[in-house]
Structure 1
Amino acid sequence: MKTVLITGCSSGFGLATARHFLEHDWNVVATMRQPLPDVLPASPRLRVLALDVTDADSIARVVAAAGPIDVLVNNAGQGALGALEGIAMDRVRTLFETNTLGTIALTQAVLPQFRSRRAGVIVNVTSAVTLLPLLAVYSASKAAVNAFTASLALEVAQFDVRCHLVLPGRSPETRFGENALSHMGDAIPPAYATLANDVFARRTPSDPVTHAADVARAVWRAATDPSAPMHIPAGADAVALAG
């Protein structure tokens, strides 16, 4: 029975992905900053572990506790909404620590076992919604993961390790917007207010969106289909953008 380690499982994409793998009889190591065991169905194949992807000791403990891993899903991330002029550099660093460096650090910790077994899959969840105003810092953190994944794939193919990117669109089922807004503060200075109003006004209830189940299915495809492409859009809006 195979094992998947998934980050950011307390809600949204990570939670849906953990449930999907459990439903398909995999062992699931679901990680969260603050463990919430009750959000997932009780199962002897489930372990819920505390993980802070910005902390090297936390990463080492989780990788050791997880045992042999077949698939790593780097899903944990934060949002940042605002004009660049209004975003403090401390916030920029925090975002990159989680979205970019956390992904790199956890991948680095898991990769030796993939290499030694000559098997393994790395799935990094980034975003299809990046080339928009007021998302410059967030976009940069995700674009870095995209480039990291593409380059890493060339390094590890010799060990029969696969790398994939799952690219969700905008989702009403995640905490991205909530988290981004909670950190926004004065991130939209008055000079950018008209632009921000225009951006928010463009969204309508009829716009195509990404559902958490779309991402779970895309991650599942990446994990289980050796012929899957590196870039897998997830959600109706992401597919439209990719087309």
Structure 2
Amino acid sequence: MPTVLVTGCSSGFGLETAKLFLEKGWNVIATMRQPKADLLPVSDNLTVLPLDVTDPDSIRKVVEHVGDLDVMVNNAGIGAAVPIELIEPDTARLLFETNTLGTLATIQAILPRFRERRGGTIINVASSATLKPLPLIGVYRASKAAVNALTESLAVEMKPFGVRVHIVLPGRSPETSFGSNAMPHLRGLDNTDYKPMIEGMIANFRDESGPVTHASDVAAAIWRAATDPSAPLKIAAGEDAVQWMAEAG
């Protein structure tokens, strides 16, 4: 029975992904900063562990605990919607430490096992926001674009060792905690130049009338990456993400 480790399982994409793999009969190691076992169905195939991807000791403990692993899903991340001019340095560092360096740290922790056994799959969840310039999320986009670049190079490095590497690019999803996580970092509503732009962004994010991404779309894309050897390096997840990828060529 194959085993998958998923980071950031407390809500949204990670939670839906853990549920899907459980339904498919896999062993699932669901990690989150503050474990809540009742979020997922009771199952002998489920292990819930604490993991903070910005904490090297936390990563080490999880890797020591998991044993054999077939698929690693780097989903944990944080968002912030702030004009580049106004973003706090601490917020910018947090975005890169979580989204980029956290992903790098978990890859480095698990990769020796995959390389030595000549098998395994790493799936990094980035964002379709990296496909075109968008206002107010410039630093967030940069942190996710760095994940794209990291993954692209990793795929080349790992090909000789039989380790598959993929990027999943979700679109805008009102179902996730991105908005609630981003709001504490919001700056600029008191600035007459930026206020209209920010209010428009908030209204757009809450608007579910157009194409959006559902958590189930992302889980399905991750499942494809994990189980289909012919899956492409980059997989768009969600109707809006698919459209953006097509437009980006």
Scaled by the length of structure 1, the TM-score of the pair is 0.96
Amino-acid identity (%): 60
Give the Cα separation in 1 of the matches to 2:197 and 2:59. Answer: 40
Give the Cα separation in 1 of the matches to 2:101 and 2:54. Answer: 7
**Residue in structure 2 matching 1:156, options 122, 135, 158:** 158
1:226 corresponding residue in structure 2: 229
Given that 2:188 and 2:194 are in contact with CA atoms closer than 8 Å, whether structure 1 keeps it comes out as no
Matches within 5 A, 1:89-108: 89-108=89-108
Given that 2:189 and 2:195 are in contact with CA atoms closer than 8 Å, whether structure 1 keeps it comes out as no
1:144 aligns to 2:146 (yes or no): yes
1:60 aligns to 2:60 (yes or no): yes
1:184 corresponding residue in structure 2: 186
Give the Cα separation in 2 of the matches to 1:187 and 1:15. Answer: 32
AA at the equivalent of 2:225: A
Per the TM alignment, residue 186 of structure 1 is displaced from its structure 2 partner at its CA by 4.6
1:18 corresponding residue in structure 2: 18
Per the TM alignment, residue 129 of structure 1 is displaced from its structure 2 partner at its CA by 2.1
Matches within 5 A, 1:1-243: 1-130=1-130, 131-186=133-188, 189-202=191-204, 204-243=207-246
Specify the SS of the correspondent of 2:124: strand
Given that 2:189 and 2:198 are in contact with CA atoms closer than 8 Å, whether structure 1 keeps it comes out as no
Per the TM alignment, residue 85 of structure 1 is displaced from its structure 2 partner at its CA by 1.5
Given that 1:53 and 1:105 are in contact with CA atoms closer than 8 Å, whether structure 2 keeps it comes out as yes
Given that 2:168 and 2:234 are in contact with CA atoms closer than 8 Å, whether structure 1 keeps it comes out as yes
Give the Cα separation in 2 of the matches to 1:149 and 1:169. Answer: 18
Question: Residues 51-82 of structure 1, C-alpha deviation per residue, up to 9 Å, x if partnerless?
Answer: 01001110000011011110000000000101
Give the Cα separation in 2 of the matches to 1:64 and 1:178. Answer: 33
Specify the SS of the correspondent of 2:108: helix
Per the TM alignment, residue 192 of structure 1 is displaced from its structure 2 partner at its CA by 1.3
AA at the equivalent of 1:223: A
Q: Structure 2 vs 1, CA of residues 55 and 201 (structure 1 numbering), >3 Å: closer, same or farther?
A: closer
Give the Cα separation in 1 of the matches to 2:191 and 2:93. Answer: 20
Specify the SS of the correspondent of 2:41: coil
Q: Structure 2 vs 1, CA of residues 235 and 86 (structure 1 numbering), >3 Å: closer, same or farther?
A: same
Given that 2:83 and 2:188 are in contact with CA atoms closer than 8 Å, whether structure 1 keeps it comes out as no
Question: Residues 23-48 of structure 1, C-alpha deviation per residue, up to 9 Å, x if partnerless?
Answer: 00000000000000000001111000
AA at the equivalent of 2:240: D
Given that 2:52 and 2:59 are in contact with CA atoms closer than 8 Å, whether structure 1 keeps it comes out as yes
Per the TM alignment, residue 201 of structure 1 is displaced from its structure 2 partner at its CA by 4.8
Tell me how large the CA RMSD over aligned residues is.
1.3
Structure 2's unaligned 5+ residue stretches are none
Specify the SS of the correspondent of 1:47: strand
Structure 1's unaligned 5+ residue stretches are none
Per the TM alignment, residue 151 of structure 1 is displaced from its structure 2 partner at its CA by 0.4
Scaled by the length of structure 2, the TM-score of the pair is 0.94
Per the TM alignment, residue 19 of structure 1 is displaced from its structure 2 partner at its CA by 0.3
Give the Cα separation in 2 of the matches to 1:188 and 1:74. Answer: 36
Q: Structure 2 vs 1, CA of residues 177 and 117 (structure 1 numbering), >3 Å: closer, same or farther?
A: same
Give the Cα separation in 2 of the matches to 1:235 and 1:101. Answer: 26
Give the Cα separation in 2 of the matches to 1:6 and 1:124. Answer: 10
